[in-house]
Amino acid sequence: MRVEPHLAPRAANHVPLTPVEFLVRSVEVYPQRPAVAWNGRQWSYRDFGRMVGRFARFLRACGVAEGDVVSVMASNRPEMLAAHYAVPMVGAVLNTINTRLDTDTVSYILSHSESRLVVADPASVAVASEAARSTGTRCVALADGEGAEGTPRLDLLSDDDTPFEAELSAIHDEWQPLCLNYTSGTTGRPKAVVYHHRGGYLNALGNVLALGLTSRSVYLWTLPMFHCNGWCHTWAVTAAGGLHVCLDRPDPALLFPAIEAHGVTHMSCAPVVLYMMLNHPARATRDASRCIMVATGGAAPTSALIAQLDALGFDLTHLYGLTESFGPATLRELSEEQRAESSGVVAAELAKQGVRHVAAGRARVVDEEGEDVPMDGTTMGEIVLKGNTLMAGYYRDAETTEQAFRGGVFHTGDLAVRHPDGNIEIRDRSKDIIISGGENISSLEIEAVLHQHPAVLLAAVVAAPHEKWGETPVAFVELRGDAEPGEADLRAFCRERLAGYKVPSRFVPLELPKTATGKIQKFALREAARRLSGNEG
């Protein structure tokens, strides 16, 4: 067939894919349907569209233009959800910031991203405003926050009758930057992952299909929206026309009442949140006859966890992905026959990372030559990804981008096997990343802090298994001379310099095992950490 000029794309048949379009459709199709619930209030899709419109008008009034970065540091509030539409609607780039970060890290993010504006909720405005002052960034506090002195306030929750204008002219290319997400970093400073509109659109639709979202779905926000934009569920739930139930924090005392009050059908979280729910007295209010699909990731669910979740009526799905893959790239689903097996068998199967979801590209396990490893469940290789739901690259870091995409695929750094049925299972991580309660922790960052202690000669940090958190960091320290700092002293030293969840759970003094060339043998320390935690396997 000849490619004729009149068959070229034109305005009528070729428009940029963008997740903002999901809101435009839902406002048109479901104007009266509940869209967002929070703190006893509820907004329809028409109301939510108006909220997004107010946010977009505010950004334009602030001089925010195409390509500008707008940062938001907030919990799972309606305004945080609205930012996922308002910011890209004006052609700007959304940068959601982890609310647990310290002022120094937030300052780095604002500076590196060249953020034009940072919007913060009451719990984050002190850190955000201090970081903004140090970088010359404008800071705005959400209306119900007191804010810092001189910090203007933004009210998006007041009702008005201004119609929602579906104006997407600022989105003229689906490869435009959509979001800028900062990783936790493995060598100090975090990397800046650039999302594009195309990937956000496709991964959101992949989530709709993978989780079975519909217009009757009620999604409970236990996963932070600042984390990979809530795994793209900020857009997926809206695409389906479902209800977003927002919560400021994943407190079981809030979770269980919200589940019963709204008839929650879906939620996503790290296993640590599930442990919190299982050990909270409010679980007595849970009606286990109504099943909830729970998507989890960041740590493999244990057999003990799965056995107890059945009693709560939770149907678990294991997702795998990275910030660089817009969140979920693969999922592990079980058949009815598999779910009927013992909790130990179910746990072993759900621990696998599974297969790619429908909108994701290829997920392979390859050897050092880039060839697929045998599907035998034993031969290890690296997981590599290829498809439309991968980042554009790392902002202001061409060298690292090229290295990540070498050979025409994205290198995850995760080592895995592939089973005969096609399911991928991670066996180790090539990077020294510790995943604790769903949060990525750099062992190198902790080691750098410990090396500042006057009594520490060398430090090595590895992951130890933990029943509640999945993993926790354990620090092995080689001390100088006769120095004998207590564990309390080392913990206090780390607490002053690290976020709380990064502080090691144990500090073990010993002469570190080394190779003939002086490299620390971390594999030996991992075994020691397992023994210390009571896990010999």
What pLDDT shows up at residue 107?
96
- Where among 319, 350, 381 does a domain terminate? 350
What is the C-alpha to C-alpha distance for residues 128 and 119, in angstroms, rounded to an integer?
Answer: 8
**Strand, helix or coil for residue 520:** strand
- Where among 305, 327, 350 does a domain terminate? 350
Residue 405 is assigned to a structural domain of this protein: yes
The CATH number for 400's domain is 2.30.38.10
Residue 115 is assigned to a structural domain of this protein: yes
What pLDDT shows up at residue 162?
85
- Where among 406, 429, 452 does a domain terminate? 429
Residues 187 and 291 in one domain: yes
The residue with tokens 């950004």 is 59
pLDDT tens-place string over residues 272-310: 788 888 888 999 888 888 999 999 887 667 666 777 787
The CATH number for 259's domain is 3.40.50.12780
Residue 204 is assigned to a structural domain of this protein: yes
Residues 398 and 446 in one domain: no
What pLDDT shows up at residue 188?
58
Q: Cβ contacts of residue 169 below 8 Å, gap of 6+? A: none
Residues 449 and 423 in one domain: no
Q: How open is the CA angle 185-188-193, to the nearest 5 degrees?
A: 35
> What does each C-alpha distance from 367 to 324, 376, 414, 424, 474 come to in angstroms?
21, 14, 12, 14, 30
- From 61, 158, 168, 154, select the one nearest 116 (Cα to Cα): 61
What is the C-alpha to C-alpha distance for residues 30 and 12, in angstroms, rounded to an integer?
Answer: 25
Contact criterion met (CB below 8 Å) for 321 and 327: yes
Number of domains in the chain: 3
pLDDT tens-place string over residues 43-102: 999 999 999 999 999 999 999 999 999 999 999 999 999 999 999 999 999 999 999 888
Residues of the chain with pLDDT under 70: 144-150, 184-188, 299-300, 302-304, 428-432, 515-519, 535-537
What pLDDT shows up at residue 536?
45
Residues 195 and 78 in one domain: yes
Written as six digits, the tokens of 5 are 């000029």
What pLDDT shows up at residue 432?
63
What pLDDT shows up at residue 66?
96
Residues 92 and 236 in one domain: yes
Residues 113 and 258 in one domain: yes
Q: Cβ contacts of residue 431 below 8 Å, gap of 6+? A: 186, 413
What is the C-alpha to C-alpha distance for residues 385 and 203, in angstroms, rounded to an integer?
Answer: 14
> What does each C-alpha distance from 509 to 170, 465, 495 come to in angstroms?
58, 19, 18
> What does each C-alpha distance from 44 to 32, 73, 195, 291 come to in angstroms?
5, 25, 28, 25
Residues 110 and 238 in one domain: yes
> What does each C-alpha distance from 274 to 211, 217, 318, 319, 320 come to in angstroms?
18, 20, 13, 15, 17
Find the helix or strand (DSSP H, E) in which 492 lies.
Answer: helix 487-495
pLDDT tens-place string over residues 201-235: 999 999 999 999 999 999 999 999 999 999 999 99
Written as six digits, the tokens of 391 are 């980042």
Find the helix or strand (DSSP H, E) in which 390 lies.
Answer: none
Residues 464 and 528 in one domain: yes
Q: Which residues sit opposite 95 in a β-bridge?
A: 71
Pairing state between β 218-220 and 266-269: parallel
Residue 221 is assigned to a structural domain of this protein: yes
Residues 81 and 60 in one domain: yes
Residues 291 and 393 in one domain: no
Residue 335 is assigned to a structural domain of this protein: yes
**Strand, helix or coil for residue 177:** strand
Q: What is the CA radius of gyration of the chain?
A: 24
The residue with tokens 């660089």 is 324
By residue range, what is the domain housing residue 327?
20-154+174-350
SS3 string of 336-389? HHHHCCCHHHHHHHHCCCEEECCCCCEEEEECCCCCECCCCCCCCEEEEEECCC
**Which backbone phi and psi does 496 adopt, to 5 degrees?**
-75, -15
The 8-class DSSP code of residue 325 comes to G
Neighbour-count burial for 99-109, b at 16+ CB within 10 Å, e otherwise: bebeeebbbbb
